[in-house]
Amino acid sequence: MTQNTNKPSPEKKGDKNVKPRFNSNWIFAIIALSFILFEILFNRNVAQRATTSMIKEMIAKHDIEKLVVVNKDIAEIYLTGDAVSSGRYENLPKPGGGMGLQVPKPHYTYNIGDISNFEPFILEIQKNAGYSDSDLIYPEYITRKNYFTDILGWLILPALLIVVWLFMMRRMAGGGSGGAGGIFSVGKSRAQIFDKDTNVKINFSDVAGLEEAKTEVMEIVDFLKNPKKYTQLGGKIPKGALLIGPPGTGKTLLAKAVAGEANVPFFSISGSDFVEMFVGVGASRVRDLFKQAKEKAPCIVFIDEIDAVGRARGRNANFGSNDERENTLNQLLTEMDGFGTNMGVIILAATNRADILDRALLRAGRFDRQIHVELPDLNEREAIFKVHLRPIKLAKNFDVAFLAKQTPGFSGADIANVCNEAALIAARKNKTVVEKQDFLDAIDRIVGGLERKNKIISLQEKKTIAYHEAGHATVSWLLEHASPLVKVTIIPRGRALGAAWYLPEERQITTREQLLDEMAYALGGRAAEELVFGKVSTGALSDLEKITKQAYAMVSFFGMSDKVGNISFYDSSGQSDFGFTKPYSEKTAELIDREVKEIIEESYNRSKDVLRANMKGLTELAELLLEKEVIFGEDLERIFGKRKADKLKEEQEEKDRKMADNNTASVVTEDEVNKTATAGDPTVKDAGLKVTVDPEKPAEESTGGK
């Protein structure tokens, strides 16, 4: 016999305060038992149904003693004593009723149907059987009421409603994440608790990159493990840390690693779990969360997407739609740093919208540290690729650094998606390993969308698309600060009819010249359409949207306009999101519009000038694109030669190499002079001889006297 290991903990025998808990299952059992007893006591010995032929046979044998018609519906047939004792009729009900009451029961029942025809039918059968007028049996008519059945009928519906209500309450109490109590404990915290007994498989080794962020968070974990290391020096652990960064950069993953590394209870909850339609529920859940956290201190409380509850107060105050969220935020502020103390409770939160958070939430004492988790750079992307490539079967001598170079601006989530898509593409092609081309196809799939080779495109449209994409490629290849081209295609992907992939330079700041070159090659497609066909199309919609936003940013944010000046109207605090006024006058607005238009026109004219000077190469590139549908950077290098930026880079590298060679020659000359000086006079070996070397002049000794 298998022993049950999940036994409930036994109650103490001597504890008189332990009260028996009511189990709602007893209600279901009582109701079911009532129906069973009613069936046994009142519906046993039920008379059989008689057919018309049976009635004719009973009348012919003079076995019927009387007929009673009940409620003009049912005819009860009572047999004579001789007929009952004769044994001709089986399964007759025993005399007497339920609960010991001696109530006569009919031996058979018969459904009458039409009451007006029943009596003539019975009398006719008797006359045909030879009954005399004095022996004829006339039916008796009575009206009988069953009060118990009527009462039971009235009770069934309320009973069913009660049963359903109890069932729903039990489901709401026990199911979901609301915990015990269900609707009656709607104010209870919905946080998930992870402790040392919970198997969390993610640790810091699974978090690639984010070295600075990991250092900050690991310090918090280390404090919880070794508090004396910090307290003996008078230090205090930060009360809270806020992870800030774009979506997909690994904020939640970092929190999961903390849960896996820390040997303390870890409470995980989303900001939206505090928000409820009921008034006061959010604040109640905050109180309950911190109550649980204090009981399990030291511990960590992680609030994901805290912007759902931590939005700045006072916005849209006239509409009255923010009161409940503000009450929840006020309670959160009080619990984090109020008159009460939360010793040992560390708050860890994550958001990608730090600009809309309330300032009181961000101050020191609540969130002492703000950890910025940015998009990974080249080295970090390579490390992230190595983590996500662990379960993937790769081809031999696979170059992970190449993938990192091909994915600028990708987040950690994007890289994980690339690895998964590459594996799916390789499986679709029935490969045994995942190759480099599979990853390139995956990147194209994610960036550009799914290929639509069967899309119907006319020959003229295809030619326009080819020259449009060739214009982009030509201008970007010939301008110094434009991003180098990787691939151009005229195969439709997603909503785009053509696409070009560039490999932007990873830089932290951007100059005005670089922005103008980017705008110029973005307008190269429209410029090529105008020069070749003499008309423009709607294909440049995304390009125009991009350069318009960029031009307005140059003028109104970056101060890159001489006429507007070094002025920025950018609001980093985000407090003007709901403002109805501009921070500048109408005259300034007109000036900004003129400057933006001039910048765009200047970039457009530059694109056309570049294309006019290289029309032969543009035509060759477009025809090649029409033929192959996909071209790469090698094709552009064959047509136009090396990029200007590459030439300048090579020249600079050559200058650096020559300068390094000159420095090496200078060091060698100095060593030779020192050797010559010491060899000529043995007494100067330890005399502190100083030699000054000029590469342009012969070495001279300076002995400082004889």
The SS3 of residue 281 is: helix
395 CB-side CA count, 13 A: 13
How far apart CA 516 and CA 664 sit, in angstroms, is 41
Q: Identify any residues that bridge with 505 across adjacent strands, giving them in sequence order.
A: none
* Structure-token pair, residue 297: 């201190």
Of 552, 497, 492, 496, give the one whose Cα is nearest residue 519. 552
Contact 345, 298 (CB under 8 A): yes
Catalytic residue flag (residue 469)? yes
- For 569-586, the DSSP string reads ---TT-TTTT--S-SS-H
Task: Using the structure block, give the residue that is written with the tokens 């090579």.
Answer: 650
What is the residue-wise DSSP string for 465-515?
HHHHHHHHHHHHHHSSSSPPEEEEE-S-BTTBS-EEEE-----S---HHHH
Is residue 291 classed exposed, middle or buried when 0-12, 13-18 and 19+ CB atoms within 10 A define those classes? exposed
- Dist. CA 425–CA 434, nearest whole Å: 8
Identity of residue 144: R
Angstrom distance (rounded) from CA 631 to CA 444? 14
Four-point Cα dihedral 317, 318, 319, 323, nearest 10: 40
| 146-180 core/surface letters (b: 16 or more CB in 10 A; e: else) | eeeeeeeeeeeeeeeeeeeeeeeeeebbeeeebee
> What contacts 461, CB < 8 A, 6 or more positions away?
497
Place of tokens 């009819």: 497
Select which of 469, 518, 529, 595 is catalytic: 469
SS3 436: helix
3-state SS assignment for residue 141 = strand
What tokens appear for 304 in the block? 């994901």
- How far is residue 220 from each of residues 237, 242, 364, 464, 471, measured CA to CA in Å? 7, 12, 16, 59, 54
Q: How many CB atoms lie within 10 A of CB 257?
A: 23
The residues that are catalytic are: 469
